[in-house]
Structure 1
Amino acid sequence: MLACNKTKTEMINRVQTQKEDKGKKIRWCTVSELEQRKCAELAKALVAVLPPAAVAAFARLSCIRAYSTTDCIDKIRANRADIVTLNAGEVYTAVKQFGLVAVAKEIYSEGGCVLAVAVVRNSSLDLRSLQGRRTCHSGARWTAGWSLPLGFLLSRNYLPWAEEEPLSQAVGAFFSASCIPGAAATAPSLCALCQGQKSYIRQRNFHCETSHNEPFYHSQGALRCLKTGKGEVAFVDNIALDSIEEWEREDYRLLCTDGSQANLSEFRRCNLGRGPGAGVVTRINYRKVARKFLAAAQMMFGRRGRERQRFQLFESHPYGASDLLFRDATEKLAILPDDSDISQVLGLDYVALLKGLGHEGSSLEDSVVRWCCISHAEQRKCEQWALSIKSDPLVCVRASSMSNCIEKIKRDEADAASLDATHVFIAGKCGLVPVVAEYYGEKCMPAEGGKKGPAHFESDVLPSVFAVAVVRRSSRNVSFGNLAGRRSCHGYMYSPAGWLLPATHTLSSQHNTSTCSDPSKVYSDVFWKGCLPGSQGGLCKVCIGGTVEPGTKRCADNHNERYYGNMGALRCLVGDPSGKSYGDVAFLEQYNLEDNIQSLGSSGWAEGWLPWDFELLCADSRRAPLSQWESCHLGTIPPNVVMTRPVLTARVYDFLMKSQETLTAHPDEFQLFESHMFGESDLLFKDATQCLVHTSHLDYRTILGEDFYSTAEAVFNCTHSGILEFCAQDVCTIF
C-alpha cells in the first residue's frame, strides 16, 4: 500500500513537472503595490522583446500580490505563486522548513555577501551597552538585521539567553523597544516601534510585516526608523549606507566590536560580521523553468542586458522606492546548479549560525554540547565524563583526527574540542573562536570576587610547553645536523612539537630547511623513514597501527595508532615489544616526558627504561639531560585551547565551568585531566592541565602570540593543507 502511494505521488509530481516545464505561466510574488507595478512593467517588457517561441516557453509573467514575504512562501508552496526573492535567512527557512529550493543568488560589487553594521546618530552608545535601548532592524531572521548582530551579542555573552526560552523572548527583554519586521507573532515588544497600518483583516495588516507597506521594513526602513528618532541604533547591511546623503553622513556613526565608533566609510573594519545576501526561491519541481526565466530576464534587462533601455531589472527608483523585486545594488544573478546544497549556497558558517539561533525550532541539540573525540580511548573517556557530570547533557562525537574535528565543528556536526596550538591556528582561520585555555601553571587563580563561581579561573599569563628532540642515550652519534638517513618519530600531522617546529631548524647539513618548505617534505627528504601519523609514504613505514579497534589503519592520525602523540612518539623511539619498529629520534613535548617513560613499564609496553636512558638534542648540536629542557629545546608552544563556533561560546563555557565545579567537588569519581586509566595520555585535554582558564574575551591570535602565529603562517604559506582549503571555501566570492 505504501509503495503504491509512493508510486502515485511520484507520478503526480512527474506530470506536474511536465506541465510546469511547458511554461503555462510564471507568477512572481510581490509584497507591495510598488513592487506590483515594477513586476507588471517587467511582464510588458518581456512580451515586447522576447520572440514568440521564448514567450511560449516561459509563458506570460503574472504578478501575485501578497502581504509579506512569509505569505509569498505560503503561496509558492500552495502553487498560487512560483517565485520570489528573499533575504538569506528567509531563504534558509523556505528551503529547510517549507521544502522550497534556491535557484539564484544576488551578486553585488564585492561578491555574494553583505556586512552587518550597527548605525547610530552621534552619541556615546557602544555595542557593550545596548541593553535597554530602542532598536531598528531590517527584518526578522535577516542576515544583517537579525542573525549576525544577535550572533555577535550572544558570542560575547552581552545578550542573556536561557535555553528554555525562545530567542525572540530574550531579545524582547534585552531591548526596551524595537521594530523587527516579521516578528509580529513572537514577542510584542519586537514590533513596538513599527509604523505599518494595523488591521484585523489579515491581508490589510502591514504592521511589523516584511512588506514595503511597513515604513520601517528592509535596510532602508531601519535607517528611516533611526532617522526619525524612533530607534537609537539600526542594524542594517553595508549596502544601505550608500543611501545616506553625503551632506548628512557626518550625523551617523558605526559601532565597532571593540566598543569604539567609526565613520560610515570604515564599515570594512567596523562591522558585526559577513553573511550571504538575497536569493531567489521556487518549488523544487519548478526550478528548471525558474532558472530559464531568470537567465532570460537577466540577459535582456540586467546590467549588461541587450534591452536595458526598455527595462532595468535592478533599478527601482522609477517606481518611487528602492529594492523592488531585487536589491538595486545587484550586479548580476548567479544561477545555481541543480545539486546546490543550502550550505553551499549560504555558507557553512551562516547555516551553523542560523541553527544556533534556533531557525529550525528547538531540539535536543539546543541544550547539549557535542564534544569531538578522535579515538576509541577518547570516546571512552568522554563517555565517562558524560556519566560523571549528570546535570548537563554531553554527547561524544567521533572524528578521525583533530583536523576532522575542526571540519565537524564548522559543519555543525560537533560543537567543541580542545586543540593544540597549530590546530588552534587552523581553527581560527576556519572561523572558530576560543572558549577556554588549558592552564599548566602551579596554581589556578579564581576570578576576582568569585561572581561567576569557584570554577571560573582567569590568568594574565598562560604557561607554555616546549618542543624537544629526544634520543636514546646509547645512540652517541646522533645529533642535530647529522639526522639524514635516520628514522624519525613525530607526534602527529600538524602537531607543534612533532611537525611544525622541528622543520624550522637545520636537521641535516645536506638539506637546507631554512627556505620556505612543507615540513612533511622536509622530513621525507631528511629521514630514511619514520612515523608521522596522518602522513603517507616513507613517513608511515615505522608506524605500527593499533589493536583496539578492528580495521584501524597504520599511521592513523589519532590514538588508535599506537605511535600517535607524545606517548606514541616515545613508544616509537624505544620500539614495539618485539623490538622491530623503532626510530632514532623523537620529536615531542617535554611536559609529561618523564611520566610517560615511567608508564612504559607499568603499561607493559617496554621494561627497564629510565629517564637516565634518554637525552635531548639541542639545536646547536649539543646533547643534554632531559632535565635541561629549558635551555635545550626547539621552541615554545602555546597552550591547548577549546574552540567552538562563535554563537556557542557562552553555552560551551557554562558547560565547562559546571563540569569543572562538579568534578572538583567529587575528585574520586572522575578526573578530567588524567588519561592513564584509559591506556593513553593527553585524552581530550593535556594531562598537565590544572584548570581551564577563561579566554573567550581574547582572539586566537592573541592567545598564540605573534611569534608562534608568524611561524605557523609562514609554514602554511608553503604547505598544501586540505583542512585550510576546506576552511577557505567562501560563498561570498565563489560566484
Structure 2
Amino acid sequence: MLRNLLLFVLIQTVLGQSTVFAATVLRWCVSTDAEKAKCENFQNILKSTTIKNADINKVIPGFSCVVGFDTFECMKMIQDGNADMMALDTGQGYFAGRYHNMQPIVAEKYAATAGDDGMNYYSVAVVRRNSIYGSGAGTGTQLGNGLLGSNACFPGIGTAAGWLYPISVMLQNGDIKVTECNAVVKAVTDFFHNMCLPGALTSFYNPFGNNPTEICQLCKGTSGTKCSTKDPSAGYDGAFRCLQNGDGDVAFLRHDTLIHLTNNASSEFVLLCPNGGTRDIQDYKNCNYGSIPANTIMTSALQDVKTRAAYKQFLLQASEWFGVGKPYVSLFNMFSSDAWLGYGGQRNLLFTDTTQELVDVGDRDTYYKWVDAKFYDNVEKLNQCPLNYAKWCVISGGEKSKCENMMMAFGAKDLKPKLDCVLGKSADHCMQLIADGDADMMTLDSGDVYLAGEKYGLKPIAAEDYGNMEASFYVVAAAWKRNPTMTLFNLKDKRACMAGMGRGDGWIVPVSIFIETEQFVPQYCSIFENIGQLFIRTCIPGALDSEYNPNQYPISLCEGCAAGGYKKCQRNQIEQYYGATGAFRCLVENGGDVAFVRHLTVRDNTDARNHAIWARNRRSDDYELMCKDGTRKPIDEWRTCHLGKLPSNAVVTGKHKSEEDVNIYWQLLNYGQQFFSSDTEGDFHMFDSGTWYNDLMFTDDTVRLIRVPDSRNTFSSYLGRDFIVQAERLQKFTCVAVGSAPKTSLIPVYLITVISIIRIFV
C-alpha cells in the first residue's frame, strides 16, 4: 500500500529560516469514539478560517484520523504503513518499540514539582480509606500489601504505572508466586479474585486463548469491546471509575490521574504503599511503586529522517498553539478531554490530560533510550521464571546454527527460560549430556527414543504432529516407477537408501521387513553382513559408527552416501542423505533403487514443494510405493501400502527432571510454536530447515508439537509394545548391548566362521 509521506523542506530566505511542509496527510490512529471525535475536531480546526488567516497552515501539514480496533491494532497499522502516529503510555511504548518497530519523537511534559522537572510520573495503588485495605486491617508481612483475594482495577496490560511497575514489585516481594513461565497473567489471576485487565485477551498476551475469565470480570464493555483497550473501564480514568463505583478494591494508577480527577482534595481515597502502609494521595513521592519516564508520541522507525523531523516540528508547533495557556487553546484544547466526555466518559484522549506541553526527545529517540535502567529491571522481574536456562543439545553445525537463530527469536519475544545451545558429538553423546544434567532437551526419532530410554532413562515430554493429531507416521518403501518389476520380495543385489542407523524409519522397520519377508535370516552378530550381502550398495548413515557397528564392516553399507571425506555416512545432517528426506534425495539422485522413508516424504519433496536444488523439477508421479503383499501403489495410497506405523519424533529430557521443570520446558516450546510455527510470518520458523539442510532440530513435516500425557511419558509407553519387540529383536543381532558403552562384537567374526563350519559337519 502506498504511504502518504510528509516532505520536509528547509528554505533559506533573506529574512531568516522558516519551515514549510508539503500538503500531505499525517494520519493519527485512534481507537475509541471519543478519540475519533476529538481527532476530527482537531482536523477541522486546522482547516478553519481563523487558522488560515493566521497563516498557520504554512507550518501544519494535512491531518487526518484513522481508526483501529484498539491500541494494539493501531501499533500494527503504524508498523504496516496504514497510519503514522499515536501517543502511548510508556509501558505500551516499550511494547510498540520492541515488537512493532516504532520510536518516540516527542514526549509529554507535566507540571513540575519540587524535586522533579515534570518529565516523569509515579505508579500508585489506590484504595478506599474506609476499606480494610485503607484502614490497614488487611496488611501483614505474609501477604505483603494484604491484597490477596481482592478485586483489582487495571488501566491496561502493559501500562507502566498500571501494570508493569506494581506487578513487578509484588513479584519481587514474593506476594505473587510464579509457577509457570511466560504466563504472568495467570499468576496475577491466582493472587487477585476478580479483575478488569484491558488488553489481556490480545493474541500476544493470550496466545493460547486460555487466560482465566476472572481477568475481565469487572470490565464494563459490551461483547465487542469488553476487556479491550476501548472498554469503559480501560485507561487510568477507567480504572479509577472501576474503584470509585465499588467494583474493585484497589486500582493501579498514575499519581496525577488521581489528583486530577479528585481535584487534589479527596479524603475518600488513600495510597497503599509497597510496605503495606497508607498515605494521603498528595504524598505520592513517599508511597509509590516507582518513577516512570513520561509518555511519548511515537511513529514508525521506518519513516525517513526528514519525515520524522516534519512530524516532530508539527507536534512541537501544535503544542505552542493549542497547549495550556497558548494562543489558540480556546479553539482547541490539545491537552483536555472535557469537551468529549459525552462520547463515553473517557479521558486522556490523544494525549494525557495532565500534559502541559510537548518536548523534543532529543537523542533519546528509541524506546530503549527513552526508558531507564529501573524500567528494564521491572521488565525482567515481570518475566521471571523458576528456571534460568533450557539447554538444547544439537549434533551438527547446521543444527547449532538453527538453534542459535531459535535462541535469538525466543529472546526477541522475551520467552523464558532463556534457550541455550549445546553441541554434542552424536545423538548418543547428547543423550548422555542430558542424563548427566549438562543439557536439557533434544528431539529424537523413535529408534533413538528407545535407546535414550533404555540406556539413559530419558523420557519424552512433547511429540511432533504431522497433521493427523495422532503424533505418528507410516514408514513406506519408495521406488522409481520405471522399475516396475522390483518389489519388496526381490531386493537382492539392489541399492538401498535408508534414513539412518538405529532409527525407527531408517533401520528398525525396514530391517524387520527384510527378516519378515525372508530376504535373509540373521544369526548371531550377522545383521550388518546380511545387509551387505542383500544389497550391492547402501547408504545407512551411522552404519559404520563403532557405537552401532563395533566391527565397522562391511564398507558397502556406506558406499551409497553422498558426502565426501570425514562427512561421508555421518549420522547427522552433515551427510546429505541422512534422515527420511535425505534417503529420498538418495533415490532421486540415483544413489539407490529403493528408499525407506516416511509417508509424507515423497509428496513434500516433489511438485515444487521443496525449493532445494536437488528437489527442483521432481514429479511425484515418477515414484511408487512397494507394499508388503508384493504389489505397488501410487504414493498417496500409503494408508494401505506401508511397512508399519510408528510414533513420531519426540522431545526428550532427563528422568531426574521434576514435573515443574517439565512443565516449564513444555511451556517454552508451546509459546515458541505459537510465534514461530511454519505458518507464521517472520524470518524464523521452528519447523523449517531452509534449502541446504533437512530436519534440523525438528522434522520439517511437523505441523505442531503436542504435549505427551503422563500416561505415555516413559519411553516404553510412548513407543508401544510392538515397536519395543522389533527393537529388542534387532539389538541381539547387532551385538551391542543397550545400557552399556559401545564395545566389540560379543562373538568375534572368526568364531562365527568356525561355528558355521562345525555346523556343516554336525
Report the TM-score range of the alignment, normalised by the length of the smaller protein.
0.3 to 0.5
Which structure exhibits the higher relative contact order, with contacts defined as CA atoms closer than 8 Å and separated by 6 or more residues? 1
Asked which structure has the greater CA Rg, the reply is 2
